[in-house]
Structure 1
Amino acid sequence: MRIGVVTFPGSLDDVDAARAVRLAGGEAVALWHGEADLHGVDAVVLPGGFSYGDYLRCGAISRFSPVMEQVVEQAAGGMPVLGICNGFQILCESHLLPGALIRNERRRFGCLDQRVRIESTRTAWTSRYVAGEEVTIVLKNGEGCYVADAETLDRLEGEGRVVARYVAGNPNGSLRDIAGVSNERGNVVGLMPHPEHAVDDLCGPGTDGLGFFTSVLRSLVS
């Protein structure tokens, strides 16, 4: 299966995401933000970084990139899309996911190995996990505080669309300790921690993040 990884000006983790795809057994396809062509990929990853220098708001410029026209269209048709950190911000700015990511509660950039609980395994990106499973994934952000109005938060909770939640401390002040959410269909997931940095024992805290990438491959096959 071919998984596209988009590179925006300022992307930092596109190479890491592509490596994670390959370790999971997929074929990583490089996609450039300026091309409105997904080159026939089966799923898309929007990686972390500081696209367009995080000017205006994080992800606010990237949402207008030509590639996002196709991402939005294909996501509506069921294509799996994962937005990691800055990618999560882009998904919110593109209205593929509700809510927004704002400055961390303590107004400081944080980088740590974060404990996260997988709340939903009903998405294309989390089916290889067990509901309630706790994993350790790298977290690095300065604007990772997830916010939404109370009605939206209640709807996400009630529909089982909170994908992951921080445990053993909330490092950025996200409401209800939310680390990731999905759309109604479960094919689009936004995640603030970085699973692509936890795919082997040599470079990271372990392999807990690999399941996000093996999950989508299994979802595509089935």
Structure 2
Amino acid sequence: MRSLYVVTHPEATHHVEGVVGGWHDSCLTPAGARAAASIAEALRAQIPTGAEVELFSSDLQRTRQTAEAVASRFQVRPTFDRRLREKSYGEAEGRPQEWLNRRFIPPPAVGERMDHDEGVEGAETKEQWVRRIYAAVEEVLTHPCEHQIIVTHGGSLTFVLASWIKMPIESAGYASFRVSSGSITTLREDDFFHNRQIVSLGDTRHLNGAQR
């Protein structure tokens, strides 16, 4: 039985400053750091003592700090992978969210959504974003470890899950799994049918009181 726990980093400075995240290298706020410790404790409670654990994370500061809190609880070394980053918003990163909102061109309801130009210089297309997330997840799943943890971003979580259920990339343009910051999503694959389940989506019960 393989269990994969997908963590979205908790509150970061770009959240409270109202600026665009993406590859802007914001760090956790004090509340976010407390939440990261709660995430680590929640994962420790779910994973059997003595079980082998692998930890993979986006390399940006906010996910790196979250992963390091988890790593210290499990005594493992995280693998940092830039492919697990949030979508790149190019020249919008670090600017006020309102700046991006004025320029952003949303994808059409019908037609080309994956290679759509959003009107922001240097931003990734959704296809570029999805393909790198899929490649990262597929590499994680080549490892035989039964308990694996991925620390990523709220937007990128959708495509971690889409890859997990083997959604064709061309269909991922319509996918959206909405979760809160600091959440844990639990995925499981059985050893008999090799079916892949989404056991829980965006669990935040561990955050009760953590961000005060």
Q: What TM-score results when the alignment is normalised by the length of structure 1?
A: 0.31
Largest Rg, 1 or 2: 2
Q: What TM-score results when the alignment is normalised by the length of structure 2?
A: 0.32
Question: RCO greater where, 1 or 2, for CA within 8 Å and sep 6 or more?
Answer: 2
Greater share of strand: 1
